[in-house]
Amino acid sequence: MRVGPVIPVVAIDDLAQAVPLASALIAGSVRVLEITLRTPVALAAIRAIAEAVPEVIVGAGTLTRPEDFIEARNAGARFGVSPGLTPALIEATRKSGLPLLPGVMTPSEVIAARLAGFRELKLFPAQQAGGVGMLQALAGPFPDVTFCPTGGISAETAPAFLALPNVACVGGSWLAPKAALAAGDWDAITELARWASGLDSR
């Protein structure tokens, strides 16, 4: 979470895009990448990136089933991200050894995650959950929790989130736009990554 201010969140439909995307992000000084398990080639994309671009810290997103953890780890993922947290997912992350960034949306969910031993959480969906105001409100009762807000964050709104003391980084799909992926415009993605890597983070 502290390697860089923005973690790109990407759904890859074409396996051929995986390695060029990772290379373009590295060229822009973005070293962490989340590939969501929302497409048939997601695990293969993680494996390709882990093997071809090892300097990228590639993670698996949208972990919603216990079996996702083993599959992601075996594909080469170095961390996992989930949109929520359940007892089954807690057990899965412990059994698999795959570090997890679990999603929360409410104070009760933050409490449950803390009781399970998590202090680094993903606020999701961030904008719909209350955005900057929600994170400011959560800072009071949960001073020991650090967040990676994700969902609805753009290049324009990211700086406001990153200015908060309880935010380590933000997740964003805007770092790898679908149009740029489809066109193979890796230079455009590198430029976005270079700009994002220069954002202030605490």
Query: What is the enclosing helix (H) or strand (E) of 137?
Result: helix 131-139
| Ramachandran angles phi, psi of 139, nearest 5° | -60, -35
Provide the 3-class DSSP secondary structure of residue 142. Answer: coil
Crossing angle of the two packed helices 42-52 and 18-27, in degrees rounded to 10: 50
b/e per residue, 98-116, with b = 16+ CB within 10 A? bebbbbbbeeebbebbeeb
Q: CB–CB of 49/24 below 8 Å?
A: no
Distance CA 75, CA 47 (A): 5
Distance CA 199, CA 160 (A): 10
Between vectors from CA 99 to CA 44 and to CA 110, what angle results, nearest 5°? 120
CA gyration radius, the chain: 16
* Residues carrying an active site annotation: 34, 122
